Amino acid sequence: MIMLGVNYLPTELEARSQKRWGKYSLYDDYHDTILKGLKKIGVFLEDRYELSSSDYRYYVDTGPVMERGWAAASGMGWQGKNGMLISKTHGNWLLLATLITKLEIEPDQPLKKRHSEPAHDIEMGLLCGKCRRCIDSCPTDAIVEPGLLDANRCISYHTIENKGVIPRGIRSGIGNRIFGCDICLDACPWNRFAKSGKQFLLSSRYDIGELGLLDILNMDREMFRIVFRKTPIKRLKLRGLLRNACIVAGNLRETKEWGEVDDQDWLNRVKVALRSLAQCEEVLVRPHAVWALYRLFGERASEILDDSRRSEDDKATLEEYSWWEEKRALIS
């Protein structure tokens, strides 16, 4: 088994943009680009060791493989308390891939706490000591204990993998993050040794980090296809991105990001975009647009959404209206 780690720490991205987008998303889809590198390794093995293509298989974050555990067993790093692989030289910033071969190769050894101790290939937090920064930094308390992550509370899961309505209790914790989350990765002190990647197997798309919130709220399918072509964000589809953008808009007064909430003209344009999304054909988007308008404009949202409320027939969106109406009734 051959493990490959590809450094994806960006070189030129603004720190502010890095918070908005998961760092790995600001490249062409790594599944495709790293796969090309694995294929070259396969060809090398065929030529060097007289193997056939049936003598090996490769995976990039796919298939029935346990990349992190195997990477730890190979000595590439250890699994941190956030469950991610941590490298002494690259911090948290390695994308993992696997090549399984019939070829017999002398194995590397797992890391040790001390030279005199036996190796521990799967010990959680092997070189983390008493550090809890990753656990304590999570705004939604998704890391319930060292190495155990509750996906139902994870920002990355909800903004990338969740194809439905994002729970109301998670939305404020998402903050300004439009796709993915690196909070528990950024918190790790081992990152101080990490250096930016040379992009041998990655192709940067830092232009995505320059998109404004209004650019996304007003995006149509054709523009989505053009902007996010070949990136991992394309798998989210436009409706998923708009859903996430609505949540980010609803958090604007807390995050002070993606624009100036004190700029009335800009805020009015956000209001118009959200009102349009509250009436759009995508039922996934509508409840999140309603939530965002109430978060931003309070009682005024009822007036803004009056026409939309009367014509709404989607259960999740109607529940959103009802929740806010009940909340207002309790306050009054």
Q: Considering 61, 108, 215, 307, which one is annotated as catalytic?
A: 61
Residue 37, classed as helix, strand or coil, is: helix
Question: Which pair of tokens denotes residue 80?
Answer: 């941190």
Q: Where are the alpha helices (DSSP H) in the chain?
A: 15-20, 30-49, 67-73, 133-137, 155-156, 168-174, 183-186, 213-217, 221-227, 237-250, 252-255, 264-277, 286-297, 300-304, 306-311, 315-331
**Distance between CA atoms of 133 and 169, rounded to whole angstroms?**
23
**Distance between CA atoms of 278 and 290, rounded to whole angstroms?**
6
Q: Where are the alpha helices (DSSP H) in 124-198?
A: 133-137, 155-156, 168-174, 183-186
Nearest of 173, 189, 181, 83 to residue 129 by alpha carbon = 189
Region for 35 from its dihedrals, namely left if φ exceeds 0, alpha if ψ lies in -120 to 50, beta otherwise: alpha
Residue listed under structure tokens 């991610």: 84
- Annotate 173-195 with b (16+ C-beta within 10 A) or e (fewer): bbbbbbbbbbbbbbbbebbeebe
* 313 annotated active-site: no
Is 34 in contact with 201 (CB distance < 8 Å)? yes
The Cβ of residue 228 has, within 10 Å, a number of other Cβ atoms equal to: 23
Burial class (CB in 10 A: 0-12, 13-18, 19+), 28: middle
Q: Which residues are catalytic?
A: 61
